[in-house]
A and B are shown apart, each in its own frame.
Chain A
Amino acid sequence: MIIDRRRSLETCTESGWDAEDLLTDTEIDDEFVHKLKRLEGSLIYMKALKKPFFKLEYHDYVIKGIKGDLFFRMAYHKDSKYKVDEAIERLNGE
C-alpha cells in the first residue's frame, strides 16, 4: 500500500518532467508489480536482475522501481501531476 509521497531528489529536469517518490508500507513484491497493470501503459519487468526492475511507461508518465524497495518513482509531464493521485487511488484500491 502507498502510504506517503515526496518530491524526488532526482527529477527528470533535462526532459522538463517532474518526479515523485511514492512510499510503500511493505517491500515491493511481484503482486505489487502485477497491480501496475491497473494503470495505462506498457509494462517492462526485468526479473533476471539481481534486484528486479520494473517500469510502466505511458505518454505523460513513467513509473519505475526495484523489487524489494520501499518506494518507487513516478515521473510525469508537468501538466499531468494529477496522474499521481489517480495512480495512488488505483494501486491502493482493492
Chain B
Amino acid sequence: MIYLNNAATSYPKPDIVINSINNALNALPSGQFRSGGILSDDDLFSECRKKLGLVLGIKDADRIFFSSGSTEGLNQILFGLGFRADEYMTTATEHNSVLRPLFNMGSGEPVIISCDENGIVSPENIRKSLNQNIKALVINHCSNVTGAVQDMEEIGRIAKEYGLRLILDCSQSAGCMEIRIDDWNVSACAFTGHKSLMGVQGTGGFYVKKGIELKPLTYGGTGRDSRVIKYEGAYEYETGTRNAPGIAGLASALDFLLETGIDIIEKKERELTEFFVSEIKSIPGVRIYGEEIEKRGPVVSVGISGVKPSDAAYILQNGYGIVTRAGLQCAPLIHKYIGSGEDGVLRLSFSYFTSKEELEAAIDGIKDIAMSAEG
C-alpha cells in the first residue's frame, strides 16, 4: 500500500520513534523522586520542550506545554485568552479546530477573512478587515487543503502594529519547514506531534508567550503545591498524568528531524511536491487547487472532471493501493474560495519518506481515472 495521507497522520515513523516508545513502555514509570538513573518525566518533558523550541523558533521553551494535540492546544488558547468570539479575526483557510471553538464560544461570531483561489490570505486584506473590536488574529500557517504557506513576516508586522494577539496554527507546518515564532511576533501557537513532527497521535501542545496568562481549560493534579485547591492567578496547564511514552516518542522524533535537518526535509518534500504538481497539471481533466502557489507545504489537492473526490479516493485505494483523502478536509470555508465545491477535494500529502516512485504510481492512477471519466 502506498500512503499519501501524511497531512492527516505521517507514516511511516522513524525507527527511533518506535524504539523510544517501546523503551518507555518497558521502563519503570518514573516516581516522585529521582533515583537510580531513571529519567524523570520532568527531565524527559524538559528535554522535549527544548527540542520543540529549536524546531519552532522559540527561545523561551519552558512556555511550551504538552497537550493531546493541536485541537486541545487551540481550545486552551482560544478559550483561555478570555476574549469574546467577535473579538477574534480568523481566516477562511482554517481547520475546524479553530472554527468550531470560535463559533461555539457563545459570544457572537469571529470576523472571517477571505483567501484567494490558492488559499493565500492577503496581508492587505487583513488590514482592511480590522476593526477596533478585534483583539486577536488566528491564522493557519500552512493550509491542510492547498498547502499554501502564509506570509508570516508581514502578518506578524501587522499584529505588532495593531497590538493584536497573533495565534498561529502550526499543525501542518511544524517539522517540515522553518518556523520562527519569536521573530514573527506570535503570542501563542499550537502544534501536533503526529503529522510532520513524526511523533504519534495524542501528542502535541501549545506555546504561550511569557506575560500572557490563559485561564486553564482543565484543573487537576500537577504533582506540585497539592495543598492549594483554589487558584486566583497563574496556574499550570499540564494537569493529570501526561502521555510520557508519547512524549518520549516525540522527543526522539525531534532528534530525527534536527539531525536530518528541517531544511533538508523541506527541500526533499518541495522537490517531490513540485514534481507531482508539474506532472499532474499536464493531465487533461485534472485541476490543481492552488496551482499558482509559490510557497507550498507537502500537500496537493486536485479535482478530476466528472469524478467525485470520494470516488477517486476509493478507486485509488481499492484499485491501485494508494491511500489519499477525499472531502472537505475539516476545513469547510476554504472550498468556496478555491472553487472546489461541496464535495471538497482529493488530497495527496507527502512526507520525507515518500518516494518518487510512489508519486509516479499516484500520477498514473489519477491519469487512468481522468481518461476513463473522459472516455
Contact = CB atoms under 8 A, between A and B. Distances in A.
A50 interface: yes
B310 A50 contact: no
B372 interface: yes
Contact of A48 (B314, B318, B320, B372): B372
B4 to A, nearest CB: 15
A14 B315 contact: no
A12 B373 CA distance: 23
9 contacts: A14-B328, A46-B373, A48-B371, A49-B315, A53-B372, A55-B311, A64-B311, A65-B318, A66-B315
A43 B242 CA distance: 52
Contacts, number: 42
B369 interface: yes
A51 B314 contact: no
B356 to A, nearest CB: 21
B368 interface: yes
Nearest to A13: B327
Interface in B350-375: 368-369, 371-373, 375
B344 interface: yes
A73 B320 CA distance: 17
Given A49-B315, A53-B372, 15 more contacts: A12-B310, A14-B330, A14-B344, A46-B369, A46-B372, A46-B373, A49-B319, A51-B318, A51-B319, A51-B320, A53-B311, A64-B311, A66-B314, A66-B315, A69-B318
A73 B314 contact: yes
Contacts of B310: 12
Interface of B: 310-311, 314-315, 318-320, 327-328, 330, 344, 368-369, 371-373, 375
Interface in A14-72: 14-15, 46-51, 53, 55, 64-66, 69
Interface residues of A, number: 16
A50 B319 contact: yes
Nearest to B314: A64
A69 B321 CA distance: 13
A48 B319 CA distance: 12
Nearest to A15: B327
B368 A66 contact: no
Interface of A: 12, 14-15, 46-51, 53, 55, 64-66, 69, 73
Nearest to B312: A53
Contact of B315 (A12, A15, A53): A53
Nearest to B317: A10
Contact of A50 (B314, B320, B330, B375): B320
A14 B369 CA distance: 23
B332 to A, nearest CB: 9
Contacts of B311: 53, 55, 64
Contacts of B314: 53, 64, 66, 73
B137 to A, nearest CB: 27
Nearest to B329: A14
Contacts of A73: 314
Contacts of B330: 14
Contacts of B315: 46, 49, 51, 53, 66
Contacts of A50: 319-320, 368
A66 B318 contact: yes
Contacts of B344: 14
